A = this chain, B = another copy of it.
Amino acid sequence: MTETPPREDPRPDGLRSAPSLILVHTGDGKGKSSSAFGVMLRAVAAGWKVAVLQFIKSGDWAVGEEKIGRQLGVDWWALGEGFTWDTANPDHDREVARAAWAKARAVIEAGKHRLVVLDEITYLLTWGWIPIDEVLEVLRARPQGVNIICTGRDAPGELIGLADTVTEMRSIKHAYDSGIRAKRGIDY
């Protein structure tokens, strides 16, 4: 607990600049995607070209963020739209996942965006729908100056190991637990 205002910058001396960073937002709490969209604002304000690739279509699907992002000139791909979640035909969803990753890989390797957001990519890794070794290799070998943010629960240890900065969003309490419905404008 900080009880008095800080008087000095607590960051270490002798820092070096990295050409680009890999960030991971994981955990069971809110704010993994939202904070990626907040960083997107920063990057847009800095004049960067930004790409957002969304891997999962869910109840929290970021329709509002997509609308504003596009207005701001962000290239936006809603890649999770094709999932059927049909247990009778699991191969279809694996194909959709592989095609989504192929698109993301192409965007990263093209090197035209200084920020690439891989929103909710961790689920595809956890479910084994896309190959983690290939994802790690593409991130590691990315063109200089391409920053990446990966979001989603249960980020694999290898991805955490590769990342520069990893934040866990932990749910301390949630309105759902008190029986309150998700709220448009706040939750989605």
Contacts and interface: CB of A to CB of B under 8 A. Distances in A.
Contacts of A167: 29-31, 169-172
A110 interface: no
Contacts of A172: 24, 26, 160, 166-168
Interface string A122-156: 01001100000000000000000001000001100
A104 to B, nearest CB: 19
A51 B151 CA distance: 27
Interface string A1-21: 111110101011011111001
Nearest to A72: B68
B21 A175 contact: yes
Interface string A86-97: 010000010000
Nearest to A56: B5
A27 B14 CA distance: 26
A85 B41 contact: no
A44 B68 contact: yes
Interface in A74-117: 85, 87, 93, 114-115
B41 A30 contact: no
A29 B62 CA distance: 23
Contacts of A36: 34, 38
Interface of A: 1-5, 7, 9, 11-12, 14-18, 21, 23-27, 29-39, 41-46, 48, 59, 62-65, 67-69, 72, 85, 87, 93, 114-115, 123, 126-127, 147, 153-154, 160, 163-186, 188
Given A42-B62, A114-B185, 12 more contacts: A11-B176, A11-B182, A12-B177, A15-B179, A18-B180, A21-B183, A31-B169, A34-B36, A35-B35, A41-B64, A44-B68, A168-B172
